[in-house]
Chains A and B, each alone.
Chain A
Amino acid sequence: MMSEPGVLTIKPQAGPDDVLLRIIDLTLHFPTYRGVLGRQVGGIRAVDGVNLEVRRGRTLGLVGESGCGKTTTGRVILRLYDPTGGRIEFDGEDITHIQGKKLRRMRARMQMIFQDPQACLNPRMTVGSIIAEPLNEHRALKGKEKEKRTRELLDAVGLNPKFANRYPHEFSGGQRQRIGIARALALNPDFIVCDEPIAALDVSIQAQVVNLLKDLQEQFSLTYLFISHDLSMVRHLCEDVAVMYLGKVMELGPRDLIYKDPMHPYTKALLSAVPVPDPRVERARQRIILKGDLPSPANPPSGCRFRTRCPVAFDRCAAEQPAWRKVAGNRWVACHRAE
């Protein structure tokens, strides 16, 4: 399960400032407990050797089936979980193990927008205090100034600033997601993990929220990690795409290259399922149906972890883990067939 030393060959693209976030060989294993006394019996390898880089001011899309570890990856990056192994670099600084004050200061710069806009807001706090809370902590803003900032933020996400005294349950789903976004923006972050921010919303509102995210990116020069299982939305929003399967990234590269010419069998399978607007192409589209279920992350297959469902797997795939290799320019892939 250790990745190949190919990792070491990663080089900053255009100077160190260009890459805002780089994660190397990141792993996170959730311990599992059993019995009345809760003995630890093993681990779920939710994230198992992930390599990514996100360039400043751009959006990296992270796609994959549900349960493959996308959310967990996002959370480890924000240090909401302590990584089991690997390394997280943010703006040139190793944040893998920072703690206490340092960690909290760093958090002001990295934020998260959650999938469930209801659950992520404390039901007993007003919208105003949810947004303003970190301002005390990190900005030492007082009374009037704080109120002003709260109003500005609500305004920026398209909500009536008068709503500050209401509780989250009084809002609709789309409004709640806007509150979640305003909250994430409160501390002027550089980087935001958007964890399926529209998946729980009505289709009619999805576009509004996506557009809002785009506008804000421009306005505040934000960098996004956009987690989604919706490939068309990723295509619409992201400059780069990473494809994840069972705790590992299979393929990473610029959006257009990936969508036009997927190299990894898994990416190919995913893309074959996306309907294409052009009817001629759509008719010719060959769907690759994946057989079998997603294996358990507690006990992933040996060698390539996609091999149990890969249509082009061969004997080497079971014996040897494919290396994370750079194929061309910015493209990375992990597959024996792609050599």
Chain B
Amino acid sequence: MLRMVSLLAGAGVASLVATPALAERGTDGVVNILSWQAPSIMNPYLSGGEKDTDAASLVLEPLASYDENGELFPRLAAEIPTVENGGVAKDLKSITWKLKPGLKWSDGTTVTAKDVVFTANYCMDPKGGCAALARFQGVDKVEALDDLTVKVTFKELTVVPYTLFVAMWSPIIQAKQFADCLGTKAPTCTEANFYPVGTGPFVVANFKPNDAVQLKANPNYRDPNKPAFAGVNFKGGGDALGAARAVLQTSEYDYAGMLQVAPDVLSKMEKGGKGKLLSVFGTNVETLFMNLTDPSASLPPEERSTDKHPHPILSDVRVRQALSMALDRARLSEIGYGSMGKPTCDFVPAPPIFAAGNTECLKQDIPGAVKLLDEAGWKPGPDGIREKDSKKLKLTFVTTTNATRNQFQAIIKQWWHEIGVDVELRSLDASVFFSSDPSSPDTYQKFYADVQMWTNYSDAPDPGEYVATYTCNKAPLPDKQWQGSNVPRYCDTNYDALVKELGKTAAIEKRAEIVKKLNTILSDSYAIMPLVWRSSVSATSKTLGGYVGSGDSRFWNAQDWYRRK
């Protein structure tokens, strides 16, 4: 997930980045980070979970990262390769990265192009179970041209070549340390996975999985004056509320992130004046998904919830639109997220250049919804529930067990009831709901229900991949082990064609135009209904200076943090 500072939060951030005192390395003591989800492993290639990749970003670095504005900046690379500077081939089929000269690993050895090539081999090994494998797909070969130059050749034209070696999910690992960890041996390299040699501002000194990580300043970090902190004490466990308390109320810790806590509770804690809250709006959108196929249990398992049987109620776009019109997104956002959320009609809410900024869905229109349902032939029955051909307008609505979501369910049920729709609510444990186990009937991908609610997001600032998740061929099917990102089973040839066009378009303005069009097509289909644009909330103590809560990792600029005196 990528976090980008919204315009609103920007002001707060700016004051935090106030000129750091020019300090020497390691003079500011230890910075204390609290994460209620503790890191399990320091090798992002074997996890992909944010709690791990964020922590690892203190140690391992990619060639380039995204900054707080969602813009690429070089880390190990000397500069960002572009078509203009010749780094990206004119035919968009290869990219050539140049390393900064004189880079050292934390053990003192030199970083070379061979390490970068090794990293690619490590992740692309089919038996290794690399979590970032998708970023390496389409790569033909990765070769070292000289000690400092790496050339990545793609099989096909690739308009956004900044996937592998970019951002915290795909950092460079040391060839020497991981030499014996390829393929099936990857999980056995406990020492390397817990104590990776890196180039980042810190080195792991003591790793206790799911509990605590102690890091110390990297003696070979490329900027001799950084980091200002001599070490990081990274503690995990507990819950989000306790983490917020430790920063905002007892000042035991300098930073706590992923604070999914009721907004009023957090702002009350912040009033104590011991710390600050920071909301970072990424691309997280709490969304309703309509099942366009029939989930009826009477269908044979290989046909249930597949395009063989359109949904008896929801395949009618008027019904879907009516359901959307009955929603008051602003109310939902206010109740569930306060200042940490914003009502939205876009499933691509950011970065600004790609956001369509649609607003017409925000106004609740119950009479309009009623009219639409009447037109669609659903007439109120004796009990107020609409019927058509003696079939009741009744929907099952599933989400994960979570206070805010279950509250949303109840509110939405009431609104839909007002327009004569009967709703049966269900909630499932997140680990069951988001399981990819094809034998479980309860996964979000199987969609044995009519409506689902969960948060979807893009993990790259360029939404090219994200919009492509709703193409016809991505619908989960039994013969694909029910895997597939197009959960509503939406299928529109126009949409698919536009996605294809996007894949061939390199110019950013053109791309933005296409993404906005795609966003509007999907929104107007009401197959998915974006509700609330959610921020990620973190808290920092008053004495932590230099923290900027966005970029690809929450700790992307840890080298610049310092202790405020």
A and B, direct touch (CB closer than 8 Å): no
